[in-house]
Amino acid sequence: MMFGLLVLTGAGLFVAQSQKPEAATGPSPRLSTVPRPASSPSANDSSSTDKSSNDLTPAVVVLSPTTIATPATSETAPAPAASLEDVVSRVLPAVASISAGQSRGTGFFVRADQVLTNAHVVQGQSSVTLQVGNATYTARVERVSQSTDLALLVVYHANPAQATLRLGSVSSARVGEEVIAVGSALGVLSNTVTRGIVSALRQVGQVTLIQTDAAINPGNSGGPLVDRSGLVIGINSMGIQAQAGQGLAFAVAIDHATTLLSGGAMSATSQTPLTALTRAMGGPSETDQVRARGEQAYAQVLEWAARNGQQLDAYWDKYASSCVASSSRTGDHPWFAAFEPNGIRLNGTSAYNCQSWLDTIQNNAAAIKAEVDKAGEVARKSGVYPGVLRDVRRRYHMDWSGWDL
Protein backbone atom coordinates (compact mmCIF):
# COMPACT_ATOMS: atom_id res chain seq x y z
CA MET A 1 0.00 0.00 0.00
CA MET A 2 1.31 3.46 -0.81
CA PHE A 3 1.45 5.92 2.00
CA GLY A 4 1.42 9.70 1.99
CA LEU A 5 1.83 12.18 4.79
CA LEU A 6 3.79 11.45 7.96
CA VAL A 7 2.74 14.24 10.31
CA LEU A 8 4.28 15.73 13.38
CA THR A 9 4.12 19.28 14.70
CA GLY A 10 4.31 21.84 11.90
CA ALA A 11 7.26 23.96 10.96
CA GLY A 12 7.40 27.37 9.29
CA LEU A 13 8.64 28.18 5.76
CA PHE A 14 10.58 31.32 5.06
CA VAL A 15 10.79 32.69 1.52
CA ALA A 16 13.23 35.48 0.70
CA GLN A 17 11.65 38.38 -1.14
CA SER A 18 13.32 40.58 -3.73
CA GLN A 19 13.09 44.32 -3.56
CA LYS A 20 11.84 46.27 -6.56
CA PRO A 21 14.57 48.14 -8.51
CA GLU A 22 14.50 51.87 -8.83
CA ALA A 23 13.83 53.21 -12.31
CA ALA A 24 17.07 53.80 -14.21
CA THR A 25 17.04 57.32 -15.62
CA GLY A 26 19.57 59.85 -16.82
CA PRO A 27 23.16 59.38 -17.77
CA SER A 28 24.18 57.81 -14.49
CA PRO A 29 21.60 55.04 -13.85
CA ARG A 30 21.40 53.04 -10.64
CA LEU A 31 20.01 49.63 -9.80
CA SER A 32 18.65 48.87 -6.36
CA THR A 33 20.95 46.75 -4.25
CA VAL A 34 20.21 43.07 -4.74
CA PRO A 35 18.80 41.76 -1.46
CA ARG A 36 20.45 38.81 0.18
CA PRO A 37 18.37 35.68 0.52
CA ALA A 38 17.74 33.90 3.79
CA SER A 39 20.72 31.81 4.86
CA SER A 40 20.63 28.32 3.44
CA PRO A 41 20.16 25.69 6.09
CA SER A 42 23.26 23.71 6.83
CA ALA A 43 23.56 20.05 6.13
CA ASN A 44 23.11 19.35 9.83
CA ASP A 45 19.98 21.41 10.11
CA SER A 46 17.06 19.04 10.58
CA SER A 47 14.41 21.53 11.87
CA SER A 48 12.41 21.86 8.58
CA THR A 49 11.60 18.22 8.59
CA ASP A 50 10.33 17.45 11.91
CA LYS A 51 7.87 19.56 13.08
CA SER A 52 5.72 19.67 9.87
CA SER A 53 5.74 16.50 7.50
CA ASN A 54 7.75 13.64 5.75
CA ASP A 55 6.66 11.76 2.60
CA LEU A 56 6.93 7.99 2.71
CA THR A 57 6.41 5.37 0.05
CA PRO A 58 6.58 2.38 2.37
CA ALA A 59 5.42 -1.12 2.77
CA VAL A 60 4.71 -1.89 6.40
CA VAL A 61 7.28 -4.27 7.82
CA VAL A 62 6.00 -6.46 10.62
CA LEU A 63 8.54 -6.50 13.41
CA SER A 64 8.54 -8.57 16.56
CA PRO A 65 7.96 -6.39 19.63
CA THR A 66 10.26 -6.66 22.61
CA THR A 67 8.77 -6.52 26.05
CA ILE A 68 10.40 -3.80 28.13
CA ALA A 69 10.36 -3.28 31.83
CA THR A 70 7.40 -1.72 33.57
CA PRO A 71 8.33 1.75 34.95
CA ALA A 72 8.86 1.97 38.66
CA THR A 73 6.37 4.86 38.85
CA SER A 74 3.58 2.91 37.14
CA GLU A 75 0.52 1.55 38.88
CA THR A 76 -0.07 -1.57 36.87
CA ALA A 77 -3.04 -3.00 38.75
CA PRO A 78 -6.01 -2.72 36.35
CA ALA A 79 -8.88 -0.52 37.41
CA PRO A 80 -12.41 -1.88 37.37
CA ALA A 81 -14.10 -1.82 33.97
CA ALA A 82 -15.98 1.42 33.32
CA SER A 83 -18.05 2.88 30.53
CA LEU A 84 -16.26 4.76 27.78
CA GLU A 85 -17.87 8.00 28.94
CA ASP A 86 -16.59 7.49 32.50
CA VAL A 87 -13.05 6.78 31.30
CA VAL A 88 -13.01 9.90 29.12
CA SER A 89 -14.41 12.08 31.92
CA ARG A 90 -11.54 10.93 34.20
CA VAL A 91 -8.86 11.48 31.56
CA LEU A 92 -9.79 14.88 30.15
CA PRO A 93 -9.03 17.00 33.28
CA ALA A 94 -5.42 15.71 33.24
CA VAL A 95 -4.73 16.59 29.59
CA ALA A 96 -3.17 19.94 28.67
CA SER A 97 -2.82 21.85 25.41
CA ILE A 98 0.78 23.03 24.89
CA SER A 99 2.00 26.17 23.12
CA ALA A 100 5.74 26.03 22.49
CA GLY A 101 6.82 28.88 20.24
CA GLN A 102 5.25 28.17 16.84
CA SER A 103 4.55 24.57 17.80
CA ARG A 104 1.31 23.24 19.24
CA GLY A 105 0.77 19.91 20.91
CA THR A 106 -0.59 18.03 23.89
CA GLY A 107 0.70 16.78 27.23
CA PHE A 108 -0.71 15.09 30.31
CA PHE A 109 -0.11 15.37 34.04
CA VAL A 110 1.55 12.40 35.76
CA ARG A 111 2.01 14.41 38.97
CA ALA A 112 0.55 17.74 40.00
CA ASP A 113 3.68 19.53 38.81
CA GLN A 114 4.91 17.17 36.06
CA VAL A 115 3.71 16.80 32.48
CA LEU A 116 4.80 14.29 29.83
CA THR A 117 4.77 15.16 26.13
CA ASN A 118 6.72 14.55 22.90
CA ALA A 119 10.20 15.98 22.43
CA HIS A 120 9.27 17.29 18.98
CA VAL A 121 6.46 19.36 20.51
CA VAL A 122 8.84 21.40 22.68
CA GLN A 123 11.86 21.26 20.36
CA GLY A 124 14.14 24.26 20.89
CA GLN A 125 12.09 25.72 23.75
CA SER A 126 13.10 26.18 27.39
CA SER A 127 9.60 27.02 28.63
CA VAL A 128 6.09 26.47 27.33
CA THR A 129 2.51 27.47 28.12
CA LEU A 130 -0.08 24.93 29.27
CA GLN A 131 -3.85 25.30 29.03
CA VAL A 132 -5.90 22.97 31.23
CA GLY A 133 -9.57 23.81 31.15
CA ASN A 134 -9.77 27.47 32.15
CA ALA A 135 -6.36 27.43 33.88
CA THR A 136 -3.12 28.57 32.22
CA TYR A 137 0.32 27.55 33.50
CA THR A 138 3.92 28.11 32.54
CA ALA A 139 6.23 25.10 32.60
CA ARG A 140 9.93 24.63 32.01
CA VAL A 141 11.32 21.91 29.80
CA GLU A 142 13.09 19.79 32.42
CA ARG A 143 14.38 16.80 30.41
CA VAL A 144 14.27 15.71 26.78
CA SER A 145 14.94 12.29 25.26
CA GLN A 146 15.34 12.57 21.49
CA SER A 147 15.83 8.82 21.15
CA THR A 148 12.31 8.15 22.47
CA ASP A 149 10.75 11.48 21.42
CA LEU A 150 9.71 12.21 25.02
CA ALA A 151 10.00 15.31 27.19
CA LEU A 152 9.29 16.05 30.84
CA LEU A 153 7.88 19.46 31.84
CA VAL A 154 7.86 20.90 35.36
CA VAL A 155 4.96 23.26 36.08
CA TYR A 156 5.45 26.55 37.95
CA HIS A 157 2.93 27.30 40.71
CA ALA A 158 1.21 23.98 40.18
CA ASN A 159 -2.28 23.29 41.55
CA PRO A 160 -1.98 20.58 44.23
CA ALA A 161 -5.47 19.39 43.29
CA GLN A 162 -4.56 18.93 39.62
CA ALA A 163 -5.92 15.70 38.17
CA THR A 164 -3.27 13.20 37.04
CA LEU A 165 -3.19 10.00 35.02
CA ARG A 166 -1.93 6.59 36.10
CA LEU A 167 0.72 4.86 34.01
CA GLY A 168 0.31 1.33 32.76
CA SER A 169 2.68 -0.75 30.63
CA VAL A 170 2.92 -1.89 27.05
CA SER A 171 3.35 -5.41 28.41
CA SER A 172 -0.35 -5.42 29.28
CA ALA A 173 -1.42 -4.20 25.83
CA ARG A 174 -3.10 -6.79 23.62
CA VAL A 175 -3.61 -6.58 19.89
CA GLY A 176 -7.29 -5.90 19.28
CA GLU A 177 -8.01 -4.23 22.62
CA GLU A 178 -9.82 -0.91 22.59
CA VAL A 179 -7.81 2.26 23.23
CA ILE A 180 -8.60 5.99 23.44
CA ALA A 181 -6.42 8.86 22.18
CA VAL A 182 -6.87 12.32 23.68
CA GLY A 183 -5.30 15.53 22.47
CA SER A 184 -5.64 18.93 20.82
CA ALA A 185 -6.37 18.11 17.19
CA LEU A 186 -4.67 20.55 14.78
CA GLY A 187 -3.33 22.36 17.85
CA VAL A 188 -6.58 24.25 18.47
CA LEU A 189 -9.32 21.67 19.08
CA SER A 190 -8.58 20.76 22.69
CA ASN A 191 -10.13 17.75 24.42
CA THR A 192 -10.48 15.84 21.15
CA VAL A 193 -11.17 12.16 21.81
CA THR A 194 -10.79 9.35 19.27
CA ARG A 195 -11.27 5.63 19.72
CA GLY A 196 -9.62 2.66 18.06
CA ILE A 197 -7.85 -0.59 18.76
CA VAL A 198 -4.26 -1.70 19.23
CA SER A 199 -3.34 -2.80 15.71
CA ALA A 200 0.17 -4.08 16.52
CA LEU A 201 3.18 -3.67 18.78
CA ARG A 202 6.34 -2.83 16.86
CA GLN A 203 9.98 -2.60 17.84
CA VAL A 204 11.72 0.04 15.71
CA GLY A 205 15.31 0.62 16.70
CA GLN A 206 15.40 0.91 20.48
CA VAL A 207 11.81 2.08 20.77
CA THR A 208 8.59 0.11 21.19
CA LEU A 209 5.68 1.68 19.32
CA ILE A 210 1.99 0.94 19.69
CA GLN A 211 0.30 0.95 16.30
CA THR A 212 -3.35 1.96 16.47
CA ASP A 213 -6.15 3.00 14.15
CA ALA A 214 -7.31 5.68 16.61
CA ALA A 215 -7.00 8.97 14.73
CA ILE A 216 -3.91 10.99 15.71
CA ASN A 217 -3.78 14.37 14.01
CA PRO A 218 -1.23 17.21 14.13
CA GLY A 219 -1.62 18.72 17.59
CA ASN A 220 -2.43 15.37 19.19
CA SER A 221 1.30 14.73 19.59
CA GLY A 222 2.21 14.19 23.24
CA GLY A 223 -1.28 13.24 24.38
CA PRO A 224 -2.10 10.02 26.21
CA LEU A 225 -3.19 6.74 24.65
CA VAL A 226 -5.22 5.02 27.37
CA ASP A 227 -6.82 1.63 27.71
CA ARG A 228 -10.39 1.01 28.88
CA SER A 229 -9.20 1.11 32.49
CA GLY A 230 -7.91 4.65 32.02
CA LEU A 231 -4.24 3.63 32.31
CA VAL A 232 -1.79 5.36 29.98
CA ILE A 233 -0.08 2.77 27.79
CA GLY A 234 1.41 5.12 25.19
CA ILE A 235 2.17 8.70 24.22
CA ASN A 236 0.67 9.68 20.87
CA SER A 237 3.53 10.60 18.57
CA MET A 238 2.87 10.35 14.84
CA GLY A 239 0.26 9.54 12.24
CA ILE A 240 0.32 8.37 8.64
CA GLN A 241 -2.44 9.21 6.21
CA ALA A 242 -2.83 6.58 3.53
CA GLN A 243 -3.99 7.34 0.00
CA ALA A 244 -7.04 5.16 0.46
CA GLY A 245 -8.09 7.31 3.41
CA GLN A 246 -7.29 4.76 6.09
CA GLY A 247 -4.97 6.11 8.76
CA LEU A 248 -2.19 4.54 10.75
CA ALA A 249 -1.01 6.05 14.00
CA PHE A 250 1.77 5.30 16.46
CA ALA A 251 2.28 5.98 20.14
CA VAL A 252 5.57 5.59 22.02
CA ALA A 253 5.17 2.94 24.72
CA ILE A 254 4.75 4.60 28.12
CA ASP A 255 7.46 2.31 29.54
CA HIS A 256 10.06 4.56 27.88
CA ALA A 257 9.05 7.38 30.25
CA THR A 258 10.61 5.49 33.19
CA THR A 259 14.13 6.85 32.68
CA LEU A 260 12.81 10.34 32.06
CA LEU A 261 10.78 10.41 35.27
CA SER A 262 13.46 8.77 37.42
CA GLY A 263 16.24 11.10 36.26
CA GLY A 264 18.33 8.25 34.84
CA ALA A 265 20.93 8.56 32.07
CA MET A 266 19.50 9.17 28.63
CA SER A 267 20.38 7.14 25.53
CA ALA A 268 23.23 8.62 23.52
CA THR A 269 21.75 7.63 20.15
CA SER A 270 20.48 10.45 17.94
CA GLN A 271 18.01 8.23 16.08
CA THR A 272 14.42 9.23 16.76
CA PRO A 273 11.35 6.97 16.56
CA LEU A 274 10.38 8.82 13.39
CA THR A 275 13.74 7.99 11.75
CA ALA A 276 13.57 4.37 12.85
CA LEU A 277 9.97 4.00 11.66
CA THR A 278 10.79 5.60 8.31
CA ARG A 279 13.59 3.09 7.77
CA ALA A 280 11.46 0.17 8.90
CA MET A 281 8.75 1.15 6.41
CA GLY A 282 11.20 1.41 3.53
CA GLY A 283 11.23 5.21 3.47
CA PRO A 284 14.22 7.44 2.73
CA SER A 285 17.26 7.15 4.98
CA GLU A 286 18.48 10.04 7.09
CA THR A 287 21.20 10.68 4.47
CA ASP A 288 18.56 10.85 1.75
CA GLN A 289 16.53 13.30 3.82
CA VAL A 290 19.56 15.55 4.37
CA ARG A 291 20.27 15.45 0.64
CA ALA A 292 16.67 16.33 -0.18
CA ARG A 293 16.72 19.28 2.22
CA GLY A 294 19.98 20.47 0.68
CA GLU A 295 18.47 20.36 -2.81
CA GLN A 296 15.39 22.24 -1.64
CA ALA A 297 17.49 24.96 0.01
CA TYR A 298 19.60 25.33 -3.13
CA ALA A 299 16.48 25.67 -5.27
CA GLN A 300 15.20 28.45 -3.00
CA VAL A 301 18.40 30.43 -3.50
CA LEU A 302 18.27 29.85 -7.28
CA GLU A 303 14.68 31.10 -7.34
CA TRP A 304 15.82 34.27 -5.56
CA ALA A 305 18.77 34.64 -7.97
CA ALA A 306 16.46 34.25 -10.97
CA ARG A 307 14.12 37.00 -9.74
CA ASN A 308 17.01 39.39 -9.26
CA GLY A 309 18.51 38.26 -12.55
CA GLN A 310 15.39 39.42 -14.36
CA GLN A 311 15.87 42.90 -12.88
CA LEU A 312 19.44 42.90 -14.05
CA ASP A 313 18.35 41.73 -17.53
CA ALA A 314 16.05 44.73 -17.89
CA TYR A 315 18.78 47.08 -16.73
CA TRP A 316 21.26 45.54 -19.14
CA ASP A 317 18.84 45.74 -22.09
CA LYS A 318 18.11 49.41 -21.45
CA TYR A 319 21.71 50.64 -21.70
CA ALA A 320 23.84 47.89 -23.23
CA SER A 321 23.24 49.08 -26.81
CA SER A 322 24.77 52.45 -25.90
CA CYS A 323 27.41 51.33 -23.39
CA VAL A 324 28.71 47.92 -24.53
CA ALA A 325 31.27 47.71 -27.32
CA SER A 326 31.62 43.93 -26.90
CA SER A 327 30.92 41.23 -24.31
CA SER A 328 31.50 37.51 -23.86
CA ARG A 329 28.18 35.79 -23.12
CA THR A 330 28.77 32.39 -21.55
CA GLY A 331 25.43 31.56 -19.96
CA ASP A 332 21.70 32.22 -19.74
CA HIS A 333 22.03 35.96 -19.04
CA PRO A 334 24.05 38.61 -20.87
CA TRP A 335 25.32 40.09 -17.62
CA PHE A 336 27.05 36.76 -16.85
CA ALA A 337 29.84 38.36 -18.90
CA ALA A 338 30.60 40.33 -15.73
CA PHE A 339 31.81 37.04 -14.20
CA GLU A 340 34.60 36.82 -16.80
CA PRO A 341 37.82 38.87 -16.62
CA ASN A 342 37.43 41.70 -19.16
CA GLY A 343 34.16 40.11 -20.19
CA ILE A 344 32.59 43.51 -20.93
CA ARG A 345 34.27 46.28 -22.96
CA LEU A 346 32.64 49.71 -22.85
CA ASN A 347 31.84 52.08 -25.66
CA GLY A 348 34.00 55.11 -24.99
CA THR A 349 31.88 57.49 -27.10
CA SER A 350 28.53 56.92 -25.35
CA ALA A 351 26.61 59.90 -24.01
CA TYR A 352 25.89 57.96 -20.82
CA ASN A 353 28.09 57.46 -17.79
CA CYS A 354 28.73 53.88 -18.85
CA GLN A 355 31.34 53.18 -16.19
CA SER A 356 28.73 53.84 -13.51
CA TRP A 357 26.34 51.53 -15.35
CA LEU A 358 29.01 48.81 -15.54
CA ASP A 359 29.81 49.19 -11.82
CA THR A 360 26.14 48.60 -10.99
CA ILE A 361 26.02 45.52 -13.24
CA GLN A 362 29.20 44.07 -11.74
CA ASN A 363 28.25 44.75 -8.10
CA ASN A 364 24.82 43.17 -8.41
CA ALA A 365 26.11 40.25 -10.49
CA ALA A 366 28.81 39.63 -7.85
CA ALA A 367 26.17 39.63 -5.07
CA ILE A 368 24.10 37.03 -6.93
CA LYS A 369 27.16 34.89 -7.66
CA ALA A 370 28.30 34.98 -4.02
CA GLU A 371 24.95 33.65 -2.80
CA VAL A 372 24.72 30.95 -5.47
CA ASP A 373 28.31 29.86 -4.75
CA LYS A 374 27.61 29.69 -1.02
CA ALA A 375 24.38 27.76 -1.51
CA GLY A 376 26.17 25.36 -3.84
CA GLU A 377 28.83 24.62 -1.24
CA VAL A 378 26.21 23.91 1.42
CA ALA A 379 24.31 21.67 -1.00
CA ARG A 380 27.45 19.71 -1.87
CA LYS A 381 28.16 19.16 1.85
CA SER A 382 24.58 17.88 2.14
CA GLY A 383 25.40 15.25 -0.48
CA VAL A 384 23.50 16.83 -3.38
CA TYR A 385 24.94 15.48 -6.61
CA PRO A 386 26.56 17.89 -9.12
CA GLY A 387 24.14 16.79 -11.83
CA VAL A 388 21.19 17.66 -9.60
CA LEU A 389 22.65 21.13 -8.96
CA ARG A 390 23.01 21.68 -12.72
CA ASP A 391 19.40 20.59 -13.27
CA VAL A 392 18.21 23.10 -10.66
CA ARG A 393 20.18 25.92 -12.30
CA ARG A 394 18.76 25.04 -15.71
CA ARG A 395 15.26 24.96 -14.26
CA TYR A 396 15.65 28.59 -13.17
CA HIS A 397 17.57 29.65 -16.31
CA MET A 398 20.70 30.37 -14.30
CA ASP A 399 23.07 28.04 -16.12
CA TRP A 400 26.70 29.09 -16.49
CA SER A 401 29.77 26.94 -17.03
CA GLY A 402 31.63 28.64 -14.20
CA TRP A 403 29.35 27.34 -11.45
CA ASP A 404 31.04 23.93 -11.55
CA LEU A 405 34.60 25.24 -11.33
Taking the C-alpha atoms of residue 86 and residue 290, their distance in angstroms, rounded to an integer, is: 47
Taking the C-alpha atoms of residue 123 and residue 162, their distance in angstroms, rounded to an integer, is: 25
Q: What is the pairing mode between strands 324-327 and 3-7?
A: unpaired
Backbone angles phi, psi at 275, to 5 degrees: -60, -45
Taking the C-alpha atoms of residue 307 and residue 16, their distance in angstroms, rounded to an integer, is: 11
Which helix or strand (DSSP H or E) is residue 377 part of?
helix 354-381
Q: Name residues whose C-beta falls within 8 Å of residue 399's C-beta, 6 or more positions apart in sequence.
A: 331, 332, 390, 393
Catalytic-role residue among 149, 184, 255, 382: 149
Cα–Cα distance list, 146 to 67, 119, 150 (Å): 21, 6, 7
Cα angle 122-118-207, degrees, rounded to a multiple of 5: 140
Q: Name residues whose C-beta falls within 8 Å of residue 10's C-beta, 6 or more positions apart in sequence.
A: 51, 52, 53, 102, 103, 104, 187, 218
Does the annotation count 149 as an active-site position?
Answer: yes
Catalytic-role residue among 74, 190, 199, 221: 221
Taking the C-alpha atoms of residue 287 and residue 196, their distance in angstroms, rounded to an integer, is: 35
Q: What is the CB neighbour count within 10 angstroms for residue 349?
A: 8
Taking the C-alpha atoms of residue 325 and residue 342, their distance in angstroms, rounded to an integer, is: 12
Catalytic-role residue among 40, 120, 145, 169: 120
Catalytic residues: 120, 149, 221
